[in-house]
Amino acid sequence: MLAAGNDSNLSAPVFLLTAAITFAVYASTVSTSIAGGDAGELVAEGCTLGTSHPPGYPLYTIIVYFVTAMGKRWYRSLPPAYLVNIASCAFGSISSGFISLVVYMLTKNYGRVTTAKNQRNVLRCATALSAGLTCSFSPLMWQYNTTSEVFALHNLFVALIVYVLVIYSAKPNSNCVIAFGSFICGLALTNQHTSILLIIPVVGYVFYMSSMLFKPKLLLMSSLSFLVGMSFYSLLPILAIRRPHAGSWGDVTSMSGIIHHFLRRDYGTMRLYSGNDTASEGAITRCLSWAEDFISHQLCGLSLLFHSALGLICVLSQLLRRVPTALAMKKRERMKKGVNPLSEVWKTILFALIFYLFVFHSLSNLPLSNPLLYGIHQRFWMHPNILMFMLIGIGGQKLILSASNGSPSQLLAFTSMVLSLPFVAYQKNFSISDQSANNHFRNYAMAVLSPLPSNSLLLINYDQQWTSVRYLQECEGIRNDITSINLSMMTFEWWESKRKLYTGVSFPGTHYTKGNTLPWKNGGFAFSEFVDANVGRFGTNIFVGGRLNFEDPQYNEKYEEQPFGLVRRIQTRERTSASAESYRSESLKAWRIIASHLSSDLPCEKNYPLSTWENTIRREFFDHLVSRSTFLLDIALTEKQNSTGMPHRTLPSIAEAAAWLELAQSWDKDTYARQSSMKKNLGLAYMNIVRSKDTGNFPIIENIFGDSNQHRRNWWTGASDDNWKEWATHLWKAEWETFLSLESSKAEPGYMQIKNIYESVMNSSRAKSNLR
């Protein structure tokens, strides 16, 4: 089916060459592990034939299962995520081949009669290759065509559906083409629901052209073919019944459960986002955001300049050229005879593009003001980008033929420029698209799991922590002694059907909800009740990552959360009397492990801006580092203040807390350098170092983060001098002086007390200087 009619001489080479070049580039830049987003969960559910988050993605789950199963049998040394990434590369490469093929076929009869046929064919091949490869090497396509998510397969379906539309336009009386197209449309919906926004205009075109409403047999055949494609959804209940396991999403063992899952009711039907942020942008603003992103980032600068210049040349040539009326009449007569039905397909592609942009952006509710959510929304722009690159390829050839005016030399020059566009896009986007060294999320998941004691209970309410941890446990079999539960999943009513899958965990009700509410009275349980039911079994080995879903005053009264690595340990308040030094020693063991996985390989902000999931790893690393430091400082100062008789030795804890806060401040200047709470805590630490009754050398603090930070080495150099109290006095003054100069500091607790202490010390210092 790679060609229609007698046009098969170059269509297959165009398709194969585009796909081969794209795959070679993609495979050389693919990561060996999971990326952010939903990748970890999708691969994990595929490895175990589980149920992914709504709408379930049954086709992708089956593909991942077969890819990983073959990997276990024949490529045991290769990580499962790498094999799925390679599969995505294949899907993306084939989609690029179809983009080139569509452009090649839709430009069949373009060009003047005076232009030699072989010259037109050379230009057709060049334009088709350029459209497919430039699309492949655009940053958005490159990123998601090499990632274990559903988008690479969705891109393939988008290009394939348009290709089948082209075949249908060449053979409008072929029932086989209609049946195959219907099957592909149904199959596409089992992978990504936004396919419907392409299916609707394409099916509308086919209905109009074939008069299908007046052909009952054809309508029945196409409907059955569509349902056969959709039948992959029947696998969800079959697999859920035959292979139930903890961690899968939803209860799809009943018809109501399947419909609930298919319609994404857990998130809100026809919605992308269930968060609290409210999107303020309208459909027009979102469409303009797409256009700005496409022009500024996806369409490389040379390509934009080339097409703009070409369009200007074409317009000017049309204005200067005076075509005789007789010739124009002959042209119209030729068109009336019906030259090529394919020439009208581009209008359907254009309508499908406009339809998608308007409908999708009317329904989408992700707030684009949030950089990370903007990045999530951006993934759904690949669909219109594919259509846009097709239109650019079709229109580009027509413009070139018009601008060259039949001149072989001009045609050759334009052809050379067209072929240079993919190379320019490759060169421009390679540095940010090469993910061959990206193991950030695997390292992150290892940093979460490795420090935890054996047989712990880990409660997760943070997407990236959940998906990456789930991948490691389900696909690579790492730390399966730890029971991990997604807190957000536990809030749905269908959780009642999942409780039996968690052996050893007690659930005091049907599902997690807010206390003293109607769902709670009808059998739900509050978080404090869940911890009460499990503290006897797990003791102090219950950990939580992310925020709790609901406020729980009873939980706050009875329990305390202590920073422990990249999560928090839940302890009863009666058991939190450990000294600062014991907490420092125990928590330092966890951070040694975390540092071995993350500190030398944190995602750099240049390659991973705020719109990427990898950037969240960097943010979380420093947030937990600061959280541990401030907690350590707080219990050390409390212990020092409450001590009677022989004072406790708290200087090592205070010094280490100060060192780590300085480390966070120097590594992440944008967040912490002018943060009022940071300045307040550093000032408190240095003030207590000065007031310390310890004598002798400054305590030696272990360097677990390496020597990559020059500022930190300078901090240790200053602390190792004999005059370390004088050094601490200087830093105390600098930190609190900055603190008092910040407007945000006025909202900090203890602001006036700090101001009075600072002014009192400075006045005393000035008085002593005057006496001298």
Tens-digit pLDDT profile for residues 710-722? 444 455 555 556 6
- Phi–psi pair at 482, nearest 5 degrees: -90, 130
Helix (H, G, I), strand (E, B) or coil at 364: coil
pLDDT the model gives residue 161: 97
Q: Which two tokens stand for residue 455?
A: 């047989």
DSSP 699: P
pLDDT the model gives residue 269: 65
pLDDT the model gives residue 355: 96
pLDDT the model gives residue 706: 72
User: Can you tell me the mean pLDDT for 644-659?
Assistant: 77
pLDDT the model gives residue 466: 96
pLDDT the model gives residue 665: 86
**Contact in structure between 401 and 156 (CB atoms under 8 Å):** no
The DSSP-derived string for 695-763 is -SSPPP----S-S--HHHHHHHHHHTSTTHHHHHHHHHHHHHHHHHH-GGGGGSTTHHHHHHHHHHHHH
Cα dihedral across residues 547, 549, 551, 556: positive or negative: negative
Structure confidence at residue 352 as a pLDDT band (50, 70, 90) = very high
Q: SS3 for 593-654, per residue?
A: HHHHHCCCCCCCCCCCCCCCCHHHHHHHHHHHHHHHHHHHHHHHHHHHHHCCCCCCCCHHHH
User: Can you tell me the mean pLDDT for 9-38?
Assistant: 93
User: Can you tell me the mean pLDDT for 292-304?
Assistant: 81
- Phi–psi pair at 459, nearest 5 degrees: -105, 120
Q: Residue 580 pLDDT > 50, yes or no?
A: yes
CB burial of 100-117 (b: ≥16 within 10 Å; e: otherwise) equals bbbbbbbbbebbeeebee
CA distance 360 to 383: 11
Determine how β-strand 567-572 pairs with β-strand 559-564.
Answer: antiparallel
Tens-digit pLDDT profile for residues 586-628? 999 999 999 999 877 788 888 888 888 898 998 899 999 999 9
User: Can you tell me the mean pLDDT for 680-705?
Assistant: 84
pLDDT the model gives residue 703: 81
pLDDT the model gives residue 331: 43
pLDDT the model gives residue 299: 85
CA distance 14 to 6: 15
The radius of gyration of the chain from alpha carbons, rounded to an integer in Å, stands at 32
Average pLDDT, the chain: 86
pLDDT the model gives residue 406: 67
pLDDT the model gives residue 461: 94
Tens-digit pLDDT profile for residues 472-504? 999 999 999 999 999 999 999 999 999 999 999
Close Cβ partners of 648 (under 8 Å, ≥ 6 residues apart):
579, 580, 581, 639, 640
**Contact in structure between 715 and 703 (CB atoms under 8 Å):** no
CA distance 674 to 735: 10
Q: SS3 for 521-550, per residue?
A: HCCCECHHHHHHHHHHHHCCCEEEEECCCC
CA distance 124 to 326: 29
Q: Residue 233 pLDDT > 70, yes or no?
A: yes
Tens-digit pLDDT profile for residues 723-755? 788 888 888 999 999 999 988 888 888 889 988
CA distance 137 to 100: 13
User: Can you tell me the mean pLDDT for 191-196?
Assistant: 94
**Contact in structure between 497 and 514 (CB atoms under 8 Å):** no
| Residue of 317, 481, 333, 331 lying closest to 414 (CA atoms) | 317
User: Can you tell me the mean pLDDT for 17-26?
Assistant: 97
DSSP 323: -
**Contact in structure between 325 and 444 (CB atoms under 8 Å):** no
CA distance 469 to 446: 8
Structure confidence at residue 91 as a pLDDT band (50, 70, 90) = very high
User: Can you tell me the mean pLDDT for 457-462?
Assistant: 95
**Contact in structure between 137 and 391 (CB atoms under 8 Å):** no
- Please give the sequence-ordered ranges of beta strands (E in DSSP) within 3-135, or none if there are none: none
More confident residue, 104 or 3: 104
pLDDT the model gives residue 418: 86
- Phi–psi pair at 563, nearest 5 degrees: -55, 130
pLDDT the model gives residue 113: 45
pLDDT the model gives residue 322: 45
Amino acid residing at 649 = R
Residues in the chain: 772
Tens-digit pLDDT profile for residues 34-65? 998 899 999 999 999 999 999 999 999 999 99
pLDDT the model gives residue 330: 46
| Residue of 88, 83, 82, 54 lying closest to 66 (CA atoms) | 83
CA distance 646 to 644: 6
Q: Residue 329 pLDDT > 80, yes or no?
A: no
pLDDT the model gives residue 214: 75
CA angle at residue 371 from 33 to 490, to 5 degrees? Answer: 65
**Contact in structure between 523 and 507 (CB atoms under 8 Å):** no
**Contact in structure between 82 and 31 (CB atoms under 8 Å):** yes
> From residue 194, how far is each of 46, 189, 555 by CA, in Å?
21, 8, 42
Q: Residue 2 pLDDT > 50, yes or no?
A: yes
CA distance 745 to 747: 5
Tens-digit pLDDT profile for residues 112-142? 544 566 777 888 899 999 999 999 999 999 9
Proportion of the chain in helix, strand, coil states, percent, rounded to 5: 65, 5, 30
pLDDT the model gives residue 454: 95
CA angle at residue 340 from 335 to 344, to 5 degrees? Answer: 90
Residues of the chain above pLDDT 70, percent: 86
User: Can you tell me the mean pLDDT for 377-385?
Assistant: 94
CA distance 32 to 147: 10
User: Can you tell me the mean pLDDT for 183-210?
Assistant: 93
Close Cβ partners of 433 (under 8 Å, ≥ 6 residues apart):
29, 137, 139, 142, 143, 146
**Contact in structure between 372 and 610 (CB atoms under 8 Å):** yes
Q: Which two tokens stand for residue 148?
A: 């274990």
End-to-end CA distance of the chain: 97
Q: Residue 148 pLDDT > 90, yes or no?
A: yes
- Please give the sequence-ordered ranges of beta strands (E in DSSP) within 223-355, or none if there are none: none
| Residue of 230, 231, 220 lying closest to 175 (CA atoms) | 220
Strands lying side by side in the sheet with 567-572:
483-486, 457-461, 542-546, 567-572, 559-564
User: Can you tell me the mean pLDDT for 541-559?
Assistant: 94
Q: Residue 144 pLDDT > 50, yes or no?
A: yes
pLDDT the model gives residue 385: 95
